[in-house]
Amino acid sequence: MDSRSPFPPTLLLVLVLVVVLPIFADASSRLYIVYMGEKKHDDPSVVTASHHDALTSVFGSKDEAMKSIVYSYKHGFSGFAAMLTESQADELEKLPGVVSVKPNTYHKAHTTRSWDFLGLNYYEQSSLLKKAKYGEDVIVGVIDSGIWPTSRSFDDNGYGPVPARWKGKCQTGAEFNTTSCNRKIIGARWYSGDIPDELLKGEYMSPRDLSGHGTHAASTIVGGQVWNVSHRQSGLAAGMARGGAPRARLAVYKACWGPKITCGDASLLAAIDDAINDGVDVLSLSLGGYGEIPGTLHAVARGITVVFAGGNSGPVPQSVSNAVPWVITVAASTIDRSFPTVMSLGNKEKLVGQSLNYNATMNSSNFHMLVDGQRCDEDSLASVNITGKIVLCSAPLEAANSSPDSAFIAALGAVVKRRAKGLIYAQYSANKLDGLEDYCHLYLPASCVLVDYEIASRIASYAKSTRKSVVKISRVVSVVGNGPDIAAPGVSILAAVGDSYKFMSGTSMACPHVSAVVALLKSVHPDWSPAMIKSAIHR
């Protein structure tokens, strides 16, 4: 990496997309998940004892067996996570009652206008929201990166006692005590047994949310009404923020950690196991990753509807994750709100993209030199001077080979390294804006703008037509209009993060919308099975 890079070390980690894998002290062993299917006993202590017996038969020592175990799954299903060598894993797999033995794998987290857009108007007398009493006393479990308990979205003013059927607990820790739970956040647990130490540095060792992802998802599902909010108090998307089931109760399960929001299978299974026993009605997981998480089938068998994010790797083909038939898998769509930015070209043509360039001090009435950087990779930029200029990046032929997020970060890193002043970036969807806000305003003072490939083609055509192409980027505005989609809203969704509110995009944000609808349907039809609820939503 160029030692003159303008990025701080933390941003460099994001830009080069480092994948951090678990490193354990004993290189000959690793964490395995031993799944044993339906539990054979109602008493959790008896189930746990059976896990110890199975491990003892392999280790030859009960003491060593007890040391190896990380989690024991004993409420909704039977199994455990333990540190094993490959030969020990093979031996366990041969034991009667063992369904599978698999190495622990890791998942990534995929996050207010959207509820009005879906037709769930808070004051509409005939709406599902009103019939469901706003989700009154339905318990929604959210497995994610934790919760920011002081957010106004989780104020418990006007709530009655915690439902008597609730069996969960409020687990304390750093910056999270018993008063962090209330009549809205009725339970909170945290799981870090399979997370590498390097990902826990700087984290809250408690249910408190560091990244904001879990808080954003939870407030989208069950957040109460909060008036006069906007994206980072900038005035964009100003109005009232609320969740889809604002009177539902929240149970928090923090199984995802670190700046990249990494979640291990072993912790996810422990959270699902506890959630089943605690008494949640709905389980929401805004997580990506491939393969079945076996605990979800047991949750559904006990009447809990499980809602997963479908992943953010599109338009890469065959990239949908969590597509097992017993859960609801959610894709992300846009809503009818946009943030248009006018780009004035030197030939007096005005084109429109989208951005979050709301800070007036970042804008100038002056034109800037425009350069077509094409793919904005090393080859494309090698012979072009882009210092102090606005760069157009467009690679439609390569779009199907990488996700929009990774392609954007790579292009951003390339143009900032060469000290460009601004970026016009083309992709299939010009609506996913939160990446722009996170990095562009810090490193590209003239602005970043997203455009589709048609607009990019027109800009490139102009750039080729003259030796000195220029562009002026205007300040963004907020526009609302009609244009419904079929999938759940997941682009530029405003919800709680810390004590503020900000946009996030992706199936992580679409998943909570469906989770809230499930909570409302559960309130109106408490006897409906997860399959019936899924069928009603598909209609």
Weakest-pLDDT range from 265-279, 291-305, 350-364: 350-364
Write out the residue limits of the CATH 3.30.70.80 domain(s) in the chain.
Answer: 30-103
Q: Domain 128-335+484-538, what architecture?
A: 3-Layer(aba) Sandwich (3.40)
Instruction: Provide the token pair at 345.
Output: 């070209």
Tell me, yes or no, if 144 is annotated catalytic. Answer: yes
Whether 337 has a pLDDT exceeding 70, the answer reads no
Q: Domain 30-103, what architecture?
A: 2-Layer Sandwich (3.30)
Whether 188 has a pLDDT exceeding 90, the answer reads yes
Residue, of 378 and 439, whose pLDDT is higher = 378
Q: How far apart are CA 500 and CA 93, in angstroms?
A: 49
Write out the residue limits of the CATH 3.40.50.200 domain(s) in the chain.
Answer: 128-335+484-538
For 239, the 3-state DSSP assignment is strand
Going by the DSSP 8-state scheme, the letter that residue 257 receives in this structure is E
pLDDT tier, 95 (very low <50, low <70, confident <90, very high otherwise):
very high
pLDDT tier, 510 (very low <50, low <70, confident <90, very high otherwise):
low
C-alpha dist (Å) from residue 283 to 280, 297, 330: 7, 12, 13
C-alpha dist (Å) from residue 13 to 9, 247, 511: 7, 40, 27
Mean pLDDT of the chain: 77
Tell me, yes or no, if 63 is annotated catalytic. Answer: no
Closest by CA to 142, choosing from 272, 267, 265, is 272
Model pLDDT for residues 381-437, shown as the tens digit of each residue: 988 899 999 999 998 887 766 666 778 888 888 998 899 988 999 887 655 555 555
Annotated catalytic residue within 51, 75, 213, 513: 213
In whole angstroms, how large is the CA radius of gyration of the chain? 25
Cis amide leading into 207 (omega within 30): no
CA-CA-CA-CA torsion sign (53, 57, 63, 66): negative
Annotated catalytic residue within 116, 137, 144, 274: 144
DSSP state letters, 43-79? SHHHHHHHHHHHHHHHHS-HHHHHHHEEEEE-SSS-E
How confident is the model at residue 84, as a pLDDT? 95
How confident is the model at residue 525, as a pLDDT? 83
What's the mean pLDDT in 256-279?
Answer: 91
Annotated catalytic residue within 72, 508, 515, 523: 508
pLDDT tier, 314 (very low <50, low <70, confident <90, very high otherwise):
very low
Terminal CA-to-CA distance of the chain, rounded, Å? Answer: 52
Beta bridge partners of residue 101, listed in sequence order: 34
How confident is the model at residue 429, as a pLDDT? 61
Instruction: Provide the token pair at 484.
Output: 């419904």
Going by the DSSP 8-state scheme, the letter that residue 206 receives in this structure is S
- Give every CB contact of residue 119 below 8 A, 6+ residues apart in sequence: 127
- Phi, psi for residue 368 in degrees, rounded to 5: -120, 150
Q: How far apart are CA 310 and CA 287, in angstroms?
A: 8
The pTM of the full predicted model, rounded to 2 decimals, is: 0.63
Whether 164 has a pLDDT exceeding 60, the answer reads yes
- Give every CB contact of residue 48 below 8 A, 6+ residues apart in sequence: 72, 74
Tell me, yes or no, if 457 is annotated catalytic. Answer: no
Write out the residue limits of the CATH 3.50.30.30 domain(s) in the chain.
Answer: 340-477
Whether 15 has a pLDDT exceeding 50, the answer reads no
What's the mean pLDDT in 298-312?
Answer: 76
**The residue to which tokens 């907020």 are assigned:** 478
- Taking the domain 340-477, which CATH number applies? 3.50.30.30
What's the mean pLDDT in 297-301?
Answer: 89
How confident is the model at residue 490, as a pLDDT? 52
Closest by CA to 369, choosing from 289, 486, 460, 463, is 463
How confident is the model at residue 412, as a pLDDT? 86
User: Contact 202/171 with Cβ under 8 angstroms?
Assistant: no
Q: How far apart are CA 312 and CA 32, in angstroms?
A: 27
Share of the chain above pLDDT 90, in %: 36
Q: How far apart are CA 491 and CA 509, in angstroms?
A: 7
The helix-helix angle for 507-524 and 530-538 (nearest 10°) equals 110
Weakest-pLDDT range from 30-44, 194-208, 400-414: 400-414
Residue, of 313 and 174, whose pLDDT is higher = 174
Q: How far apart are CA 257 and CA 200, in angstroms?
A: 7
Q: How far apart are CA 282 and CA 140, in angstroms?
A: 5
